[in-house]
Amino acid sequence: MAQSSHHRPHHIHVGAILDMESPVGEMAQQCMTMAISDLNASPSHINHPLKLILHPRNSMGQPLKALSSAVELLENERVDALIGPQTSEEAELLGELGDRVPIISFSASSPLLSREKNPNFIRMTTNDNSQVGAIAALVQKFGWRELVIIHEDSSYGNGIIPDLLLTLHEGNARVAHRTVLPPQARDIYVEAQLYKLMALSANIFIVHMSASLASRFFIKVNELGLMSTGYGWIVTDGIVNELPVMDQSVLDSMQGVIGIRPSIPPSERLHNFSTKWRNNFTNQHHQIPEVNVYCLWAYDSVWALAKAVYHLGPTTSMQKNDSANELAHLAAIHSRRTGSDLVHTILRGKFTGLSGEIQLKNGQLQQPLAFEIVNVIGRVKRIGFWTQWNGMTQGLNRSNVATQSPSLRKMGSIGWPGSSSAVPKGQRVMPKTGKRMRIGVPIKKGYKELVGVELDPETNATIVTGLCIDVFKAATDLLPYEVKFDFIPFPNSTTGSYYEDLIYHVYLQQYDAAVGDITITGNRSSYVDFTMPFTETGVAMIVPIETSRSTNMWIFLQPLTVDLWLVIGAFFVFTGCVVWTIEHGDNNEFKGPLAQQIGMVMWYSFSTLFFAQREKLISNFSKVVVIVWLFVVLILTSSYTANLSSMLTVHQLQSSPKGESIGFTVDSKLIQTDLINLPFKNPHFPPLDTVEDCVNALRDGSRNGGVSAIIDEIPYVKVFLSKYSAQYTMVEPSYNSTNGFGFVFPKGSPLVPDISASIAKLREDGKLHLISQNWFQNRSLFTNQDSATKVARLDFYSFRGLFLITGITSTVAVIASYKFRKKQSTTAQHEVADQPVEETFPPIPTKIMALICGNIAGTLKLLRSFYL
């Protein structure tokens, strides 16, 4: 019986918290499964009574999801240990459970994670600080003295920065700038930060961020031309370790990047594992993923845990599982004595794993004996090694010892960005000192506000002015170096494609650049480089402003909404009733038969509309009511008159109906392509070279050989409207837009990113707007067609304050008048108690009083409903 009990297997439950959505998480789970399979099949453990069972959970890369998964594993699966999570942020959060069960992470490398806060946290990976020496050695080897650090704003991204800055400083390298990116940064934010980097003189970048962010980051880097000749990029091991599982599009964007990763010594066991790995994936994937170091560390984590559990024996494990039964929720998870025992046993363990010698120091894997230096050139290529003792070397022996003496610190050939073999110099490659750039500028008949070329009759010197010229000069002034240039007028074209010929001359490098009103297009960008646009993008339509009169016979009712008409009518009646109530007792003009008094109420109330009331008021209370009401009537009549006048005579924007002609300006072929399917009679109208040509064509109209509207890019339209905004306006079209104007440079010019960064700086500082305002004086150019042809009707909501004031005033006046007269009557009765007194205040007929009270109550109710 004892023998049977001894061989009865006791299960050790291990939780694995991984991001199954990521390639690393998927591979790590596969490696841990293979590790457990190898353990159970191992000859030394095949008869052992302890067996490991893996319980994987998907954290989806979310720290809170990882925490909830850990609590669920502790409560429901009664796990003895947790392997994972992958990220430093998840590990930091799960560290709160570290005093309950051992937590082994094979990829959380942030130096901010320490065992002082979480004594049961084990890092089965290297600390990020271990690679700063290799990075500094690379910087020093290539003689770079100024560089930029770009890192992720997270526990992982920030942890390495203090040691990296200190090590670079000791190597006499200056960090000119640091750029911090949020882990979930949007592409537009990344692009904006890259534009800022373009304005810097440094062109060597060190990147430390997660692989997911790096994938999107380097695609943007490549799109903006920062992965071209003259630039240098160094990436840390967090990115390099995941290069084998990145998309090919990302690798294509990283051509020329160099990076660091731990060196894994070759072994027969590692070779056998790799063979088994490929065999397992042969039937599952068309492309077999390459085993990376995280997969090996995950495998070794399982073996380290298993060796510790085997050493402690089955009794300890069973005690741990019994204590796990008591778990109810996170707050109820108590520390377990055997959890600390297991941690101490793992920390004292020493064995040879797939990744090399496994020996933990201070709760983490010891620094690798060597780091590999890799280069992304077509594929990931190893070009050398770095060791703490020998520095840079080209090869290592099987013991990770340098095969060359320190004096022969050479590396393999390196492919730099832009397919260059020359080491970046650490500063931008600029035109040689003393060489003046030849800048081609177009000669235009009109629109000289954009670019104008004149010859000085006395000196015969070329004078070039305009918006495009001012922006180019302002952009070059912001460069951290001097650029000398001369503007060369481009002669008239003989082919009829003036701008295409100018761009073609830049392509042939007969000009170093072209500056002018040159639109950015995809076709042109295939053989020249454009800077970022410095003008507004899109096209707009110029139309005449016409005056028309309304013929609607009921237009006099339209200035006010229906609810406002009803409220005004109700208050006319209400005010008349209030005045009659106050004046009826003392004023003979408000006395008489019932019909006459009702007529008096209506007449007096509505006569205030024209200030034509003839009746004299006696009571001060009624005078106050009428004064307030006359103020309300004055506001209402003035507003009504103004709104009616606007409706009777409005400015209309004449749009181009079907069957009418439309005009274009100088470089109009680009816009005609966009408008070819629009319902215009003559969309290919001959180009209008000057502003005066446009005015004459619009005045003639379609019926007289002119045009009904002109469509062109917004800068041309602004020039036109700066002179003729009184007769014409600009409306926003609904068809495709253009990309704006840009400066033209030959392909691969190093000035393109710098000029683009200067333009971005001008736009951020508001200087670009000031330059534009200097040439386009009229600020209110853009008009919405609907807002120009429609006048808003006045509603009750706009005047609710007025009605509230007159309603309260009238109500208070009626109450005060009644109390005053009652008090006055009582006093008079006491003074002449023995004498017959003629009735001063004849009783108000019951029907009239009911009518007044009902009117007052209804009006107050209406006011309350509208006000609320």
DSSP collapsed to 3 states, 350-367: EEEECCEEEEEECCEECC
Q: State whether the Cα torsion 311-315-318-319 is positive or negative.
A: negative
User: In the predicted model, is pLDDT for residue 153 greater than 80?
Assistant: yes
Res 440: pLDDT: 92
DSSP collapsed to 3 states, 14-29: EEEEECCCCHHHHHHH
**Rounded Cα distance, 585 and 602, in Å:** 18
Sheet with strand 379-387: strands edge to edge: 174-181, 146-152, 204-208, 232-235, 258-262, 370-377, 379-387, 391-393
Residue 694 · residue 663 · CB < 8 Å: yes
Residue 661 · residue 680 · CB < 8 Å: yes
User: In which band, very low, low, confident or very high, does the pLDDT at 47 lie, cut at 50, 70 and 90?
Assistant: low
Residue 442's SS3 state is strand
Res 44: pLDDT: 64
User: In the predicted model, is pLDDT for residue 6 greater than 80?
Assistant: no
User: In the predicted model, is pLDDT for residue 588 greater than 70?
Assistant: no
Looking at mean pLDDT, say which of 459-468, 488-497, 647-656, 680-689 comes out highest.
Answer: 459-468
User: In the predicted model, is pLDDT for residue 555 greater than 90?
Assistant: no
User: In which band, very low, low, confident or very high, does the pLDDT at 434 lie, cut at 50, 70 and 90?
Assistant: very low
Task: Read off the DSSP letter of residue 610.
Answer: G
Please give the C-alpha separations between residue 103 and each of 15, 119, 124, in angstroms, as whole numbers: 9, 10, 10
- How do residues 288-329 score in pLDDT, each as one tens digit? 678 889 999 999 999 999 888 888 876 444 444 444 444 344
Q: What is the mean pLDDT of residues 109-126?
A: 84
Per-residue tokens: 26: 């998927």
- Dmax (CA) for the chain in angstroms is 138
Q: What is the mean pLDDT of residues 208-227?
A: 92
Q: Taking all residues of the chain, what is their mean pLDDT, rounded to a whole number? A: 77
The pTM of this model reads 0.52
Q: State whether the Cα torsion 359-363-89-185 is positive or negative.
A: negative
Please give the C-alpha separations between residue 24 and each of 59, 293, 300, 364, 868, in angstroms, as whole numbers: 13, 10, 15, 20, 60
Residue 480 · residue 472 · CB < 8 Å: no
Q: What is the mean pLDDT of residues 554-566?
A: 81
Residue 116 · residue 94 · CB < 8 Å: no
**Rounded Cα distance, 491 and 351, in Å:** 79
- How do residues 728-764 score in pLDDT, each as one tens digit? 777 765 455 567 889 999 887 778 888 999 999 999 9
User: In the predicted model, is pLDDT for residue 268 greater than 60?
Assistant: yes
User: In which band, very low, low, confident or very high, does the pLDDT at 258 lie, cut at 50, 70 and 90?
Assistant: very high
Q: Which of 105-109, 119-123, 556-560 has the lowest mean pLDDT?
A: 556-560
Looking at mean pLDDT, say which of 370-384, 574-588, 627-641 comes out highest.
Answer: 370-384
Res 182: pLDDT: 93
- How do residues 438-449 score in pLDDT, each as one tens digit? 999 988 777 788
Q: Which of 140-154, 333-347, 809-823 has the lowest mean pLDDT?
A: 333-347
- How do residues 801-814 score in pLDDT, each as one tens digit? 888 888 888 888 88
**Rounded Cα distance, 613 and 625, in Å:** 14
Residue 334 · residue 388 · CB < 8 Å: no
The continuous run of DSSP H or E covering 467 comes out as helix 467-477
Residue 504 · residue 514 · CB < 8 Å: no
User: In the predicted model, is pLDDT for residue 401 greater than 70?
Assistant: no
Q: Which of 412-421, 601-610, 662-671, 737-746 has the lowest mean pLDDT?
A: 662-671
Closest CA to 58 of 49, 50, 70: 70
- How do residues 65-94 score in pLDDT, each as one tens digit? 999 999 999 889 888 899 988 888 888 888
No. of helices (H) and no. of strands (E), the chain: 29, 29
Count the neighbouring beta carbons within 10 Å of the beta carbon of residue 443. 16
Looking at mean pLDDT, say which of 101-115, 320-334, 587-601 comes out highest.
Answer: 101-115
Res 506: pLDDT: 92
Closest CA to 841 of 808, 865, 818, 866: 818
List, in sequence order, every residue forming a beta bridge with 402; answer none if it has no partner.
396
Q: State whether the Cα torsion 664-668-674-677 is positive or negative.
A: positive
Residue 144 · residue 204 · CB < 8 Å: yes
| Structure-derived torsion over alpha carbons of residues 202, 205, 209, 211, reported in degrees to the nearest 10 | 140
**Locate tokens 């001063």: which residue?**
840
Res 782: pLDDT: 47
Res 331: pLDDT: 45
- How do residues 122-141 score in pLDDT, each as one tens digit? 999 989 999 999 999 999 99
**Rounded Cα distance, 471 and 327, in Å:** 69
DSSP code per residue over 821-859: HHHHHHHHHHHTTTS----SSPPPPHHHHHHHHHHHHHH
**Locate tokens 């010197």: which residue?**
461
User: In the predicted model, is pLDDT for residue 236 greater than 90?
Assistant: yes
Q: What is the mean pLDDT of residues 667-679?
A: 51
Res 393: pLDDT: 86
